[in-house]
C-alpha cells in the first residue's frame, strides 16, 4: 500500500506542479486584467470563457476519458498506437467541423450568451482557441497515460511563458483590451499545438479503426452530458448573474472565483494523476483499502488548504507591491465569496475520489443522471438566492450542487464497487475544521493575523485530541522527524 501511495503522491506532485505552473498564469494575469479591464468587460470575459470551457467538452465528446481507459489497460503496443490514432483523427475531424459552425454563427452565439453588446468577434476568436486546444488535448493525455510527468510539466511551463508574454504584448503594449486577451489565447493555443507535434509525429499514424472508434464512443459518449453538467455547474452562475444582476457584479464575482483557484490546483493535480493511478492499482488485492485511505488524506490536505486560504485571502489580494495589488481595488469585494468557492472545489475533489467504481465497472451510463442532478440543484439555488444575495447566492449554489453530485455518485458507485471509506475519521475532520473556521473567519482586530495563525497551528493538535490519527501514521511521522533530527 505504501508503494502505491508514494507513486500517486509522486505523480500528483509533478502534475500538481504542472498545473500550478499552468494555473499560475491566472494569478500572473489577474493584476494585468483587473487593472486593464472594467468590471463589465471582466464579466464579458468570464462568460466567453464559460462558452470555451463548455464547448471544449463538446469538441472531445468523451473520447478523452475513453482513450485513457483503453490505452492504459492495453498491453499491446500496436493496439495502443491504433487507439491513439483513431482517437486523434476522431477528435480532429469533429473539431474542424464545429469550429466552422461556430465561426459562421458567431453573432447568434454572442446574443445568446451576453445580453448587452455584440461580441461576435470574441466568439470567432474562441472557435480557433477550441480547435487548437482540441488538437493538442490527446498528446497531453498520452503523456499522462505514459506517466511522462516531466515532459508534461515542461510543456505546461512553456505554455505559461507564451501566454503571459502574449498577454503583455496584446493587452498592455497594443492596448487591445478584451480582443487582445482572446488574441493572446489563440496564439498561445496554436504554439502549444506546435509544441506537441513531436508526440503526434512519433505515435500517430493514418490508420483509423471503426471498431476501436465504436468502443471509444460506447464508453466515452456518456461523459458528454455528464462532463458538460460538471462544467456548467462550475460556470453557469456567471451566466445567471449577468442576466439577473448585470455584468459588473459578474466581473467582481469572477475575480473572487479566480482567487479560489488555490483549491482548484490541488484538485486538478490529484485528478490528473488519479485516473491512471486507480486503473492500474485496481489490479491489487488491497486496492479498496488504498482508495479509502487516499480519500482521507486528500480531505485532510484539502481542509488545511481551505482554512489557510480562507483566513488570509484579504491580506493576499490587498498586499501592495510597487503600487500594484493582486487584483485592482474595485474587485476586492469579491473576496467574501472565496471560502465558498474553496469549499465547493474541495467537495468536487471528493466527487473525483468517488468515481472509481463507476469507471472500473463501466457504469458510466449513470454519470449524466448524477451530474444532471447536481446541475439542476445548482441552477435552482442560483435562481432563488442570486436575486436576494447577489454573488454570495452563486457561491452557496455552487456548494449545494457539488454536495448533491458527490452524494449521489457515492450511493450509486457503492452498489457496484463498495469501498470502505473512513467516514468516522472524515466526520472528525469536518467537525474540527468547522470549529477552527468559525473562530478564525470571524476574528477581527489588531491581533487578527496572529490569532488566525494560532488557530491554524491548533488544527492538527485538535485532530490528534479527537483520535483522528491512527497509531501507524503517528509512528511513521515519528520516524520521519527522527531522521530529520539525525541529519
Residue 298 has pLDDT above 80, yes or no: yes
Residue 279's SS3 state is helix
Closest C-alpha to 134, from 178, 89, 103: 89
pLDDT at position 83, please? Answer: 81
Helical H runs in 61-116? 63-72, 77-104, 106-113
What does the pLDDT look like over 327-363, one tens digit per residue? 888 999 999 999 999 999 999 999 999 999 888 887 8
Q: State how far the Cα of 335 lies from the Cα of 258, in Å rounded to an integer.
A: 10
What does the pLDDT look like over 39-84, one tens digit per residue? 999 999 999 999 999 999 899 888 877 887 777 666 677 877 888 8
What are the DSSP calls for 216-252, one per residue? HHHHHTTHHHHHHHHHHHHHHHHHHHHHHT-HHHHHH
Residue 480 has pLDDT above 60, yes or no: no
Region 17-34: what's the mean pLDDT? 72
pLDDT at position 292, please? Answer: 93
Q: State how far the Cα of 231 lies from the Cα of 462, in Å rounded to an integer.
A: 36
Residue 142 has pLDDT above 50, yes or no: yes
Q: State how far the Cα of 209 lies from the Cα of 90, in Å rounded to an integer.
A: 10
pLDDT at position 373, please? Answer: 94
Residues ≥6 apart with Cβ < 8 Å to 10: none
Kindly state whether residue 436 falls inside one of the protein's structural domains: no
Region 314-329: what's the mean pLDDT? 78
Region 228-233: what's the mean pLDDT? 86
Kindly state whether residue 461 falls inside one of the protein's structural domains: no
Kindly state whether residue 235 falls inside one of the protein's structural domains: yes
Residue 15 has pLDDT above 70, yes or no: no
Higher pLDDT, 287 or 431: 431
Kindly state whether residue 433 falls inside one of the protein's structural domains: no
Kindly state whether residue 428 falls inside one of the protein's structural domains: no
Give a three-class secondary structure readout of 368-427. Answer: HHHHHHHHHHHHHHHHHHHHHHCHHHHHHHHHHHHHHHHHHHHHHHHHHCCCCCCHHHHH
Kindly state whether residue 458 falls inside one of the protein's structural domains: no
What does the pLDDT look like over 384-426, one tens digit per residue? 999 999 999 999 999 999 999 999 999 999 999 999 999 999 9
pLDDT at position 23, please? Answer: 65
CB–CB of 34/334 below 8 Å?
A: no
Region 105-121: what's the mean pLDDT? 91
pTM value > 0.85: no
What does the pLDDT look like over 268-284, one tens digit per residue? 878 877 877 787 788 78
pLDDT at position 484, please? Answer: 47
DSSP label at residue 174 = S
What are the DSSP calls for 300-368, one per residue? HHHHHHHHHHHHHHHHHHH--BTTB-SS-GGGGGGGGGHHHHHHHHHHHHHHHHHTHHHHHTT-GGGHH
Domain span at residue 55?
2-421
Residue 237 has pLDDT above 90, yes or no: yes
Number of domains, the chain: 1
Amino acid at each position: 500500500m505504501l508503494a502505491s501511495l508514494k507513486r500517486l503522491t509522486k505523480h500528483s506532485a509533478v502534475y500538481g506542479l504542472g498545473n500550478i505552473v499552468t494555473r499560475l498564469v491566472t494569478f500572473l494575469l489577474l493584476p494585468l486584467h483587473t487593472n486593464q479591464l472594467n468590471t463589465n468587460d471582466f464579466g464579458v470575459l468570464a462568460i466567453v470563457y464559460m462558452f470555451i470551457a463548455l464547448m471544449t467538452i463538446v469538441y472531445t465528446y468523451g473520447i478523452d476519458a475513453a482513450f485513457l481507459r483503453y490505452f492504459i489497460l492495453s498491453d499491446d503496443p500496436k493496439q495502443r498506437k491504433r487507439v491513439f490514432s483513431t482517437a486523434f483523427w476522431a477528435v480532429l475531424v469533429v473539431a474542424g467541423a464545429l469550429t466552422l459552425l461556430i465561426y459562421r454563427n458567431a453573432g447568434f452565439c454572442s446574443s445568446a450568451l451576453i445580453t448587452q453588446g455584440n461580441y461576435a468577434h470574441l466568439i470567432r476568436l474562441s472557435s480557433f482557441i477550441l480547435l487548437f486546444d482540441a488538437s493538442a488535448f490527446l498528446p497531453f493525455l498520452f503523456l499522462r497515460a505514459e506517466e511522462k510527468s516531466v515532459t508534461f510539466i515542461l510543456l505546461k511551463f512553456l505554455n505559461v511563458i507564451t501566454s503571459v508574454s502574449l498577454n503583455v504584448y496584446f493587452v498592455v503594449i497594443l492596448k487591445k483590451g478584451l480582443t487582445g486577451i482572446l488574441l493572446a489565447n489563440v496564439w498561445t493555443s496554436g504554439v502549444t499545438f506546435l509544441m506537441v507535434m513531436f508526440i503526434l509525429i512519433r505515435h500517430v499514424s493514418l490508420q483509423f479503426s471503426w471498431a476501436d472508434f465504436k468502443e471509444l464512443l460506447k464508453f466515452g459518449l456518456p461523459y458528454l452530458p455528464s462532463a458538460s453538467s460538471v462544467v456548467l455547474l462550475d460556470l453557469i452562475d456567471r451566466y445567471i448573474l449577468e442576466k439577473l444582476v448585470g455584468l459588473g457584479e459578474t466581473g467582481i464575482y469572477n475575480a473572487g472565483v479566480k482567487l479560489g483557484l488555490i483549491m482548484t490546483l490541488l484538485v486538478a493535480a490529484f485528478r490528473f494523476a488519479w485516473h491512471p493511478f486507480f486503473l492500474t492499482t485496481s489490479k491489487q488485492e488491497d486496492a479498496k483499502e488504498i482508495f479509502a485511505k487516499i480519500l482521507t488524506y486528500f480531505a485532510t490536505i484539502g481542509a488545511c488548504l481551505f482554512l489557510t486560504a480562507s483566513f488570509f485571502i484579504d491580506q493576499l489580494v490587498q498586499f501592495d507591491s510597487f503600487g500594484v495589488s493582486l487584483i485592482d481595488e474595485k474587485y476586492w469585494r469579491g473576496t467574501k465569496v472565496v471560502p465558498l468557492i474553496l469549499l465547493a472545489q474541495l467537495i468536487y475533489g471528493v466527487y473525483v475520489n468517488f468515481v472509481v467504481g463507476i469507471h472500473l465497472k463501466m457504469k458510466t451510463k449513470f454519470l449524466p443522471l448524477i451530474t444532471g442532478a447536481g446541475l439542476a440543484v445548482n441552477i435552482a439555488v442560483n435562481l432563488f438566492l442570486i436575486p436576494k444575495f447577489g454573488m454570495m447566492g452563486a457561491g452557496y449554489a455552487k456548494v449545494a450542487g457539488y454536495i448533491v453530485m458527490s452524494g449521489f455518485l457515492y450511493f450509486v458507485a457503492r452498489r457496484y464497487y463498495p469501498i470502505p471509506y473512513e467516514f468516522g475519521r472524515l466526520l472528525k475532520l469536518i467537525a474540527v475544521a468547522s470549529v477552527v473556521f468559525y473562530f478564525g473567519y470571524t476574528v477581527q482586530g489588531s491581533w487578527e493575523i496572529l490569532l488566525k495563525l494560532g488557530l491554524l497551528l491548533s488544527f492538527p493538535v485538535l485532530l490528534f485530541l479527537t483520535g483522528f490519527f491512527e497509531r501507524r501514521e503517528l509512528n511513521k511521522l515519528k520516524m520521519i522527524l527522527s531522521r530529520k533530527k539525525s541529519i
